[in-house]
Amino acid sequence: MSKYARFFLMIATSTLVMFGLMYLNTYQTDHLFFSETRLYMAFYMGAAMAVIMLLFMLKMYTSAAKNSAIFVTAIVIFSGSLWLLRSQSTVEDVSWMKAMIPHHSIAILTSSRANISDPRVKDLANRIVEAQKKEIDEMKQLIEGLSQ
């Protein structure tokens, strides 16, 4: 395997791992849904990582043409995925809810497990947990209804 093929495999594997890692802060497993938004985030992180890693290892990768292709491809992927993330142009009803459920789940995790001592802040955190749980249940019902 060529060193450039290995570089591509390293970036692709790291991008996939980053996509998965974004779900580790989900409160519970039934809040795990595929998210286009997280996919776009993984792509732009992988593209940024490709540029950074190639710059650090430039002496190992000596083909100017291949290096230029990597930089251009990474810039295109970064720009495209950032635009998709920021515009949300491909995110529709169900995919929006599937992205929001893990997002809400993170709020439940952080609000229910933080070491909060002030009663006012604790009250706010408890209200956030209840609101997020209610909204997750509502989104799950809507997904089920819209997916039929």
Place of tokens 């996919």: 39
Question: What is the number of domains present in the chain?
Answer: 1
91: left (phi over 0), alpha (psi -120 to 50) or beta: beta
Q: How many CB atoms lie within 10 A of CB 140?
A: 16
- Which residue segment(s) compose the domain that 109 sits in? 3-147
pLDDT for the residue numbered 13 = 98
Tell which residue, 48, 47, 35, 14, has the closest CA to residue 90: 35
Residues of the chain with pLDDT below 50 are none
Q: What confidence tens digit (pLDDT) does each residue in 82-118 have?
A: 999 999 999 999 999 999 999 999 999 999 999 999 9
